[in-house]
Amino acid sequence: MATAETKDVQTATLYRMVMDDHVCPFGLKAKDLLEREGYRVDDHWLETRAETDAFQREHSVETTPQTFIAGRRIGGYDDLREHFGKDSADEDETSYQPVIAIFGAGLAMALAVAWAADHPLLSVRTLEWFIAISMTLLGVQKLQDVEGFSTMFLNYDLLAQRWVRYAYLYPFGEAAAGILMIAGALVWLSAPIALFIGAVGAVSVFKAVYVDRRELKCACVGGGSNVPLGFISLTENLMMLAMGIWVPLKAFVL
């Protein structure tokens, strides 16, 4: 919500980089935010590096875009969000959003697979697909930056702390087990992998969070996440552990 001061002036001046090889994404965001707040935007393009450097020297700023309202410089995109009373993203702030997105997508994909296969939407097989797909998605997140994942993982995983290479193998094992369980193939391979990494992970998380009372970030969605280590992380491992027991039980016993 705009302040009383800004409501009286409905024109904002924006300076942003728009070059042949680069259009500043924060400039686009700033323009969109101003328009959504009801402002007419006097949009000035900085079309060359020389124009940008000259603008920055003139206004003693190091970055663009820059927004001016009622003759007063507000600043860049984050400053503009703060000016309108909107929360700016904090790189260090913990968030469950990545996990919610992955499990939400996993559930939607499991329901889609059940629908396409003419399976009942609410069935044990749909639950299996949900867990397997979620495992795969979580594995892919880790595989995007194995080095970053391994560094964060080593903070709490008991096996990885004894054998560092396990931190590098983990994402491949999780993704492979998930893919095989989606297909219901090679149970003799997928089940032991899920059972092993799920059991080790569950013990490691439980010790770090509930015994040692450590406040850590979870590597479950990759090395760059701000997801706190805790119940969600434990749930991920327990899901894999359960699948590692259930899948061979259903295939060879039931």
Cα gap 199→242, rounded to integer Å: 9
Task: Using the 3D structure, point to which of 30, 48, 83 is the last residue of a domain.
Answer: 83
Three-state SS for 65? coil
Element (H, E) at 42: strand 40-46
What CATH code is carried by the domain that includes residue 13?
A: 3.40.30.10
Q: What is the pLDDT of residue 95?
A: 75
Q: What is the pLDDT of residue 254?
A: 63
Burial label for 89, CB within 10 Å (0-12, 13-18, 19+), is exposed
Span 163-188, average pLDDT: 95
Same domain, 112 and 184: yes
Structural domain range at position 25: 4-83
Span 183-203, average pLDDT: 95
Same domain, 76 and 131: no
Same domain, 64 and 127: no
DSSP letter for 171, please: H
Same domain, 145 and 38: no
Same domain, 111 and 50: no
Same domain, 224 and 105: yes
Q: 91 pLDDT band (50/70/90 cuts)?
A: low
Task: Say if 89 falls within a structural domain.
Answer: no
Task: Say if 172 falls within a structural domain.
Answer: yes
Mean pLDDT of the chain: 89
Q: What is the pLDDT of residue 231?
A: 86
Q: Is the pLDDT of residue 103 over 70?
A: yes
| Count of structural domains, the chain | 2
Task: Say if 104 falls within a structural domain.
Answer: yes
